[in-house]
Amino acid sequence: MADLAGKTALVTGASRGIGRAIALRLGRDGARVAVHYGNNEAAAKEVVAEIGEDRAFAVRSELSAPDAAEVLLGRVEEEFDGLDILVNNAATVSYSGLEGTTPEEFDRVVAVNVRAPFFIIQRALPLLREGSRIINISSMATRVAMPRFVTYALTKGAVDVLGRTLAAELGARGITVNTVAPGVVETDSTAAVLAAPGRKEAAAARSAFGRLGRPEDIADIVALIASDDARWVTAGWIDATGGSNL
């Protein structure tokens, strides 16, 4: 358990899946948490209730909108006097492949997965305190070729580059920037793909441990990076795939 008492955290896409598990874990470790969501207000409110109404609040921002960062951080600023942990977790998935992807789909995925985290970090800069953490959630898809997911994968490649590049710049302020890259994790975003017969077993077999990832597997790694013990780790790309495709 990391001691995050007195720390503040913003987790994007915290209403469901991996983001939900991250918000709950950071909350359990003592942080006050801004629980960002897109459409699922009820789910976000459940996360807030589980952390405790006195230590968490829900904030809506549609991340495909150009003013997403302003809407999000404007609200965070009203609640917190500074930010210690920023987790860019929210993302949208696309599996239309090279031939099936339209320019509209491409632009939407880039807006949510790349533009939003970029401007969220930019807008959060004045709030981020000395010693704070930026943790971006990437994907195994930047290490292993997944042709159907080409658009999604290239947005995550941009997230990888963002982390390494900003780590160099923000180190001067004592801010670490790290990237956590999950493999296949059972969440709503993978439910449809994993529903086909045999898919779950095949995905589980990719991992050295022979099972699918759980949201908590990723949340625990994020908590590790958020802890003081990880203060000397920056520009890290943490393989959170359970040893997939080795």
Contacting positions for ligand NAP (CB under 6 A): 13, 15-19, 37-40, 62-64, 89-92, 112, 137, 139-140, 182, 184-185, 187-190
**Both tokens assigned to 230:** 């990880």
DSSP letter string, the chain: ----TT-EEEETT-SSHHHHHHHHHHHHTT-EEEEEESS-HHHHHHHHHHH-TTTEEEEE--TTSTTHHHHHHHHHHHH-SSEEEEEE--------HHHH--HHHHHHHHIIIIIHHHHHHHHHTTTEEEEEEEEEE--GGGTS--GGGHHHHHHHHHHHHHHHHHHHHHGGGT-EEEEEEE--B-SHHHHHHHHSTTHHHHHHHHBTTSS-B-HHHHHHHHHHHHSGGGTT--S-EEEESSSBT-
End-to-end Cα spacing for the chain: 29
User: In terms of CB distance, is 139 or 151 closer to ligand NAP?
Assistant: 139
Provide, rounded to whole angstroms, the least separation between the CB of residue 195 and ligand NAP.
14
User: In terms of CB distance, is 6 or 74 closer to ligand NAP?
Assistant: 74
Provide, rounded to whole angstroms, the least separation between the CB of residue 104 and ligand NAP.
14
Provide, rounded to whole angstroms, the least separation between the CB of residue 100 and ligand NAP.
19
Provide, rounded to whole angstroms, the least separation between the CB of residue 174 and ligand NAP.
26
User: In terms of CB distance, is 70 or 129 closer to ligand NAP?
Assistant: 70
Provide, rounded to whole angstroms, the least separation between the CB of residue 9 and ligand NAP.
15
User: What are the strands of the beta sheet with 237-240, ordered from one edge?
Assistant: 56-60, 32-37, 8-11, 83-88, 128-137, 176-182, 237-240
Residue nearest to ligand NAP (CB): 17
User: In terms of CB distance, is 34 or 63 closer to ligand NAP?
Assistant: 63
Q: Which residues are known catalytic residues?
A: 152
User: In terms of CB distance, is 129 or 148 closer to ligand NAP?
Assistant: 148
